Amino acid sequence: MVNFQQFWTKKTLVGLGLGQFLSLLITSTGFSSSELAKKGINAPTSQSFLNYVLLTIVYGSVMLYRRQALKAKWYYYVVLGLVDVEANYLVVKAYQYTSITSVMLLDCWSIPSVMLLTYIFLKTKYRYRKIAGVIVCIAGLVMVVFSDVHAGDRSGGSNPRKGDLLVIAGATLYAISNVSEEFLVKNADRVELMSFLGLFGAIISAIQISIIERNELKSIRWTPGAAFPFFGFSLAMFLFYSFVPVLLKMSGSTMLNLSLLTSDMWAVGIRIFAYHEKVDWMYFLAFVAVAVGLIIYSGGDKEDDQCRTSVADEDAERSKHFDEEVGCNNLDHGTMAGSTKTGDTSKDDCTTSTGGREIVSNKNIGKDLQGKKS
């Protein structure tokens, strides 16, 4: 059971709130893409390109103002930019071949992928409580899938196998991107990460647009109805990318991916209140399941922090005790050395005194001989 005294901590509440804010941003990008698709605009790389440009301008300016040396190798950001661009492209592309239900279900592949990658490369250890929270969250999303099937919303798609493979590949790349960002934000710098991800992401996107989406861009009629969702998508993605490193540093990649599961539930809320559509009752049960899973996953943060603090205190105590022992040993050696030096000085003094007596005796003998001669 979750101890609510451990749950009601500032870190946990901020992590949950920030995760839901990011989930709402993802929901808004989904609706923006849906509106663009209804207008016949299918240019996913072009939409992401403006986001990367904004990241480069904003965070690149801050980085130039700081004039600090790089904390990570620049080619790490090249690889990260390539992975991030292609992850966005593959998942959006999958909607052309398979159903939205399959995309939602297979996109969960990023969660076990993130857990495996963080366990191998970042040495993150997951307690049974956190694993249980992940299982509950995924169970909630599976309810959404069955709700779609129950409501008759599932459509096969033109090439389901190809679409499913694209989703799995994109989810894997998302996992690699999130874990890489978690490593860089904890070991390098958030501003450096965002500026270089934006720079290389923009360059790679521009190359890909010139090859794949050049004709699509030429055919777009830039009416207000098309421009608003297009630029709204870019602004939402910019905010999403700006706040993702904060959550990664605070709670990790797994918490980020679990929080994003609720984006489908927020989409249901928008469908109910904005479009006045009816949804299946299982959506609400799924939302509760995902929320409970997030609480279970986040509930052990305070306990983990206390364990880390106690381990750090024990290490500090051992270090202090070791320093005291070393100091005592040095003091003993110093005393012995001082005694030896004092003994040597005493010997020198004795030698000097003896030499002085010999000189005085020689002088007296000389005086006696002179008196006898006279």
Rounding to the nearest 10 degrees, give the CA dihedral for residues 144, 145, 150, 153: 110
169 C-beta neighbours (distance < 10 Å), count = 18
Query: Which residue is associated with the tokens 């809320």?
Result: 269
Tens of pLDDT, residues 202-259: 999 999 999 998 888 888 888 888 899 999 999 999 999 999 999 988 888 888 888 8
- Alpha helix positions (H), 279-300: 282-298
Instruction: Quickly count: other Cβ atoms within 10 Å of residue 103's Cβ.
Output: 21
Segment 292-302 shows an average pLDDT of 70
C-alpha distances out from residue 320 to 307, 317, 324, Å? 20, 5, 6
Q: Average pLDDT of 275-302?
A: 73
The pTM assigned to this predicted structure is: 0.69
Q: What percent of the chain is predicted at pLDDT more than 90? A: 25
Rounded to the nearest 10°, the torsion over CA 227, 232, 233, 236 is 170
* Total number of residues shown for the chain: 374
Q: Name 251's Cβ contacts closer than 8 Å, sequence gap at least 6.
A: 11, 15, 19, 298, 301
Q: State how far the alpha carbon of 128 is from the alpha carbons of 62, 123, 289, 311, 348, in Å.
A: 42, 16, 18, 20, 74
48-65: pLDDT as tens digits: 899 999 999 999 999 999
- What confidence tens digit (pLDDT) does each residue in 6-65 have? 556 777 788 889 999 998 998 888 778 778 877 878 888 988 899 999 999 999 999 999
Looking at residue 211, the DSSP 8-state letter turns out to be I
155-211 pLDDT, tens digit per residue, is: 555 777 788 788 889 989 999 999 999 899 888 899 999 999 999 999 999 999 999
**Cα separation, 218 vs 232, whole angstroms:** 20
Any idea what the Cα angle at residue 241 is, between residues 196 and 57, rounded to 5°?
Answer: 45
Give the pLDDT score at 51: 93
Q: Residue 93, SS3? A: helix
